[in-house]
Structure 1
Amino acid sequence: RGAGRTAFGAAHFRSRRVVLLAARMGSRVELGFVEEAAPWRLRSAQFPSKVGGRPAWLGESGLPGPAELRCGRCGRPCAFLLQLYAPLPGRPDAFHRGLFLFCCRGPACYRPGAPGPLRVFRNQLPRKNDTYSYDPPPDTPPPEGHPPVSLQLQCGAHLCRVCGCLGPKACSRCHRAHYCSKDHQTVDWKLGHKLSCAQSAQLDTAIPDHKFLFPEYEIVIEPEEMETPGDSQTDADTQKTWRNIKNWRLPAVQVKVLSH
């Protein structure tokens, strides 16, 4: 385990445990670790596995709308938590495949019973598609530097300024700021759009921190190492894991990826 990593596999929470399954019922367990990464590595064109930030959608059709992303408890918009790049070998229609997990930010919504506060979606494309090159993306930074946050898909659909999901609603004054819900429009209005609404030059770049998105990290997946007698997580590692969980204000979860 490298320095600076948080092991999802080491984080436990009472009776809740999230287990993510890959393509084949399998023989080994893989663990996901979060690491800091350059912003360009977490964009859609790199097919990332990541935690936090805005979702890096793969395909642009069939994306979940605002109604599908509402918490089953309180009805508020769920926040993007993580996505895993999980292509299916032997399935041409799922050469590119991402699993997206969304969750409610309200702690009170995490209690037994349905409907719950979690939402999971699949987004996939064949290798030959209208969005990405047939060949793998280059593993080098783009020449123009870090790409800015894009709030519009190639198909023309707009994304919410707060959460990065589909934003079918538009500001009634400027008609350029888009949102998934009245909740997020209100948040953005209070945090600066009220002043920048009439300033077209600042609208695309001046996106404030709405305190809604989770911290963004890349998920690095490695095979689980078999423990030997005497192996244990250090106190420092344990404390760091729990600090991250506390700062996110979410139930601590154990995330394992089973290769199958």
Structure 2
Amino acid sequence: MTTLVQVIRAHVVQANENYAKLRARVAEKAATANNGKEPTIDCYGRLHAPCDGYFWEDTTYQGGAYLPFSEEFYEQLELMTGRVRTANSRRFAYSVRLKSTTKEIEELSACIGDYGVVERGRIWDDGESRYAYIKTNQKSLSDLIHTYEQERAAARKAAREAELAKLKELKGTAPEGRVTVKGTLIMTKDVHGQSFSYYDSGITTKMLVELENKSTVWGTLPTKIYDAEKGDTVEFTATFEHAKDDDTHAFFKRPSKPSILQRAETA
């Protein structure tokens, strides 16, 4: 899939070409009324009279004076490039937040040019990811980034669903009713729920266990094996109920007779 940096870089190249054509058209118009003498264009794209007595939009200007743009020119300028009317303005009409990395943010900052700024959020716990905030006055650029993010999210979702479907094909049928099972502890998670007393934190530890036929079960970690860790082989009795539309996964309640048959480090 094409990267966001490549998408923005291609957009900027096209926007620069459009901007150059627009400036050339305005310069040609000015030269027609001034014996071929074109206006001076500064680094911000603004026009100046190159000499005294310069004729522009039915008015004569002194050398160096700013030449006012027509509203039509401004509208075309902002539509094509998104450049602000005031060169030092830091106000932007559009802002897009997306998950990125420090390296990608640096690349985005380098390629976006005059069409916006890229700000970065705090680094995440993984030491690499962070949010990028792309701010611009160009609606077409903002829409382009939004579309790219939607397509990327859809691609990630499709890949994840394909991966889950592939894993599901390898899984057996999860247990139902009250039975005894044995499997490998995949993970534990503290779940915040309702507290019924001052001494009750409302936190319940849940566990995900993969059984011998690769099906999975989810429910409360029995207190007797509170110290069970990922990779441990555990056995317990409980009442199981299949997940909705998925007979390879079940939820259990009222676990009893739990035991740790084998620790992960000795497996």
What TM-score, normalized by structure 1, do the two folds share?
0.21
What TM-score, normalized by structure 2, do the two folds share?
0.20
- Which one has the bigger helix percentage? 2
State the structure with bigger RCO (CA 8 A, min sep 6), 1 or 2.
1
> Greater CA radius of gyration, 1 or 2?
2
